Chain A
Amino acid sequence: MAQMNMIEAIRSAHDVMLDRDPTVVVMGEDVGYFGGVFRCTDGLQRKYGEHRVIDAPIAEGGIIGTAIGMGINGLRPVAEIQFADYIYPGFDQIVSELARIRYRSCGEFFSPVTIRTPCGGGIRGGQTHSQSPESIFAHVSGIKTVMPSNPYDAKGLLISAIESDDPIIFFEPKRIYNGPFDGDPEKPGVSWASHPKGEVPDGYYTVPLGTAEVAMPGEELTIITYGTLVHVAIAAAKETGVDCEVIDVRTMAPLDVQTLADSVKKTGRCLVAHEATRFGGYGAELAATIQKECFYHLEAPIGRVAGWDTPYPHAFEWQYFPGLKRLAAGIRRVMEAE
């Protein structure tokens, strides 16, 4: 066991897989010699060589398109898209190709590409370095969409993603790369060292795709969320004094409906929360799923807390970000409703 932040955990997952499987190759902008702008691949090119950890031209569509071709030829490419906001030039390759190759060839061809990309705000990134586009990808059949909320899950889920024969979009909430964040930017930063999920095995282990986890048990209200907001939700629950059960979705698609439904059937109340914009957001799918599975257990309408339906404004990111106050207000609303 070691203390790792999320960056170190992700790097360690790469290291483990590059070592275990000679077909694993890493490709992306600045990932090689420099080790990535967030340092997630630092030192890996020195260790595994420039044929396994490859600096790519600045063309996300090209990175994803060629990674698909490598996958068809028996490699397991791990492609980094430097920011989730940059993924759109590769969108057609993901939606029309990567997600469909197995289907349209009836399993004759497939390409096991993992696309990693940092997402979310809270780092003063403005509207081109802060987006959370997970719902766009969760909507696409044929790919799996993942977002961890801590170092232990990040490493275990990334190893599962790389080993999976399905294509994976792996979102990394960059605000919590260095430490959990309770949603109050005025407080001093906290490191992962004080968090139980900052304890990460050095070697190989997996966290299965398609499984949600109870991040904090409780009896009165279920908060279903993922990524950075897992930590905000826990802090908001403590602030309100409501005995909340916080569920970390971890895999947006395919969704672990059972874990979510079991919790809501127990608590009878549900709040869904995410940083991404509200309209057509992933929370709508969560709310509809819970309504279908748990309608007769619900004691109040399902609440929803999300980013505003605007781009992510640089100067007003803390007014945009659904932080502690908005989560706490959301909890109270669901508790007060009858």
Chain B
Amino acid sequence: MITKSRLQIPRPAARPGDEPDFSYLELSPAGSVDKPAIGSPTRDIEFLSNGLVRVLDDDHQAKGPWDPGLDPSQLQVALRWMLLTRAFDDRMWQIQRQGRISFYMQARGEEAISIAQGMALRIGDMCFPSYRNQGLFMFRGMKLVDMMCQCLSNTRDMCKGRQLPIMYHSKAGNVFSISGNLATQVPHAVGWAMASALKGEDHIAATWLGDGSTAEADFYHALTFAAVYQAPVILNVVNNQWAISTFQGTAGGQRRPFAARGLGLGIPGVRVDGNDFLAIYAATLWAADRARRGHGPTLIEHVTYRGGAHSTSDDPSKYRPKDEWQAFPLGDPVERLKQHLITQGRWSEAKHTALEKQLRDDVTAAWKEAQKYGTMTEEPFLDSSTMFEDVYAEMPRNLESQRRRLREILEGE
């Protein structure tokens, strides 16, 4: 019995050298969580934030009320996008290790989230991504070569050399610019959704942040405004267990799931298996339907695992067991969708291997093309005097004069 106050310092279940231990994760069997009507009052559907919505069972069969009933051909498309994300990430990681780009962040183990949600949303719905949503940019039409050029800060870089690698944006694809700050995009999504409702449009907004960054005030501002104005928005917490070196308990995930963060404001939360393509797709469709029909915001927690390092600047072997991902009870999203399709008789190891090779070749071809627009060390180089553009709608006099000065300095060299 506790008899006096004691400062608790949350500690993960396993550190380097320990056996991985996921006994803290509360799991529900596939198909066991009810799917309520979208108009259900939050108080009646609190169970969604405590259970775990899963469709794919351990035998790779789709089960229960959340099965979206997607055609296997659509699932093949989904698998292709997930595999492309992984092939792209693998190659870009390698390229960073060769010193050809300064920085990279991969989505290893989390590929299902961007692809399932991209497919469940409509193209007119606006996405406010975090830095592990590269699949979303790809799915919404961004070419690999353009993503690579951004990472290279070369002459075809959409960001004109202003942003770290992976901070993409796509107006055409309705995907907002990645900031590099954490959680700042969440109130933007709510404001965007408020404007959509204000204008009487049926577009909704969706946004993503990690378990760690739910601790930021912006997340709570966003929840409050979303609840108060019943904004048509989906707030996705990607709980990949790790925020660089701190585990999800450091962000307050030990006593209540992140899906329950909005309950006090009346925002329903859905805790979903983030490595189960079908479950994510179904939960997103449910939340999008709620938003579109005037039932307001939904918080979705995706329970997943960050399969790789936080970024190329990180070394996870310093703070977590090396084999932790292999022990993660929800497995690998790519493998699970693949096995599901194989079980359906609509996919095979041979086809899978061939597709992987083809995608690797596509990535290689894109990389060859991207380098033609310049690299960090090879011409052509971006004109650095473009740094003065787009600070304001029109360039003020002080920036004009600084641009002139920079050009003089450059020409003098």
Listed in ascending order, the chain A residues whose CB lies under 8 Å from chain B are 25, 51, 56-57, 59, 61-62, 65-75, 77, 89, 92-93, 96-97, 100-110, 141-142, 144, 164-166, 210, 254-255, 257
Of A77, A100, A165, A255, the contact of B393 (CB 8 Å cutoff):
A165
Give min CB distance, A291 to chain B, whole Å: 16
B138-193 interface (Cβ within 8 A of A): 158-160, 162-163, 167, 169-171, 176-177, 179, 181, 184, 186-193
Interchain CB contact (< 8 A) of A69 among B170, B193, B397: B193
Question: A106 near B162 (CB under 8 angstroms)?
Answer: yes
Q: Which residue of A lies closest to B196 (CB)?
A: A73
* Apart from A66-B191, A97-B181, A257-B397, 6 more pairs, CB < 8 Å: A66-B190, A101-B177, A103-B162, A108-B158, A109-B171, A109-B177
> In chain A, what residue has the closest Cβ to B396?
A254
Q: How far is the CA of A97 from the CA of B187 in the complex (A)?
A: 11
**Of residues A62, A93, A97, A101, which shows the largest number of chain B Cβ atoms within 10 Å of its Cβ?**
A62
Residue of A73, A93, A100, A255 near B187 (CB, 8 A) is: A93
Nearest B-chain residue to A74, judged by Cβ: B195
B217 touches A89 (CB 8 A): yes
Q: Evaluate contact between A96 and B181: CB separation under 8 angstroms.
A: yes
Top 9 closest A-B pairs, CB basis?
Answer: A69-B191, A65-B187, A62-B221, A66-B191, A254-B396, A73-B195, A69-B188, A69-B192, A108-B171
With A62-B221, A102-B391, A166-B393 already in contact, the answer to whether A67 and B191 are too (CB < 8 A) is yes
Residues of A within 8 A of B398 (CB): 254-255, 257
Q: Name the residue of chain A whose CB is nearest to the CB of B201.
A: A73
Are A57 and B225 also in contact (CB < 8 A) when A105-B171, A106-B158 are?
Answer: yes
Interface residue from A56, A69, A97 paired with B189 (Cβ < 8 Å): A69
**Could you say which of A65, A72, A102 contacts B176, with CB atoms under 8 Å apart?**
A72
In the complex, A166→B393 CA distance in Å?
A: 6
- How many B residues touch A, CB cutoff 8 Å? 45
Interchain CB contact (< 8 A) of A73 among B126, B169, B391: B126
CB neighbours (8 Å) of B356 from chain A are none
Q: B224 contacts the other chain (Cβ, under 8 Å)?
A: yes
Provide the residues of chain B in CB contact with A109, threshold 8 Å.
Answer: 169, 171, 176-177
A164–B169 alpha-carbon span in the complex (Å): 23
Q: Assess whether B205 is interfacial by the CB under 8 Å rule.
A: yes
Closest approach, in angstroms, between the C-beta of B176 and any C-beta of chain A?
7
B44 touches A (CB below 8 Å)? no
CB of B77 within 8 A of chain A?
no
Set of chain B residues within 8 Å of A70, measured between Cβ atoms: 191-192, 194-195, 198
What residues of A have a CB within 8 angstroms of the CB of B159 in the complex?
A: 104-106
Can you list 12 contacts pairing A with B, beta carbon distance less than 8 Å?
A57-B224, A65-B188, A66-B222, A68-B188, A69-B187, A69-B188, A73-B192, A73-B195, A93-B218, A102-B390, A254-B396, A254-B397
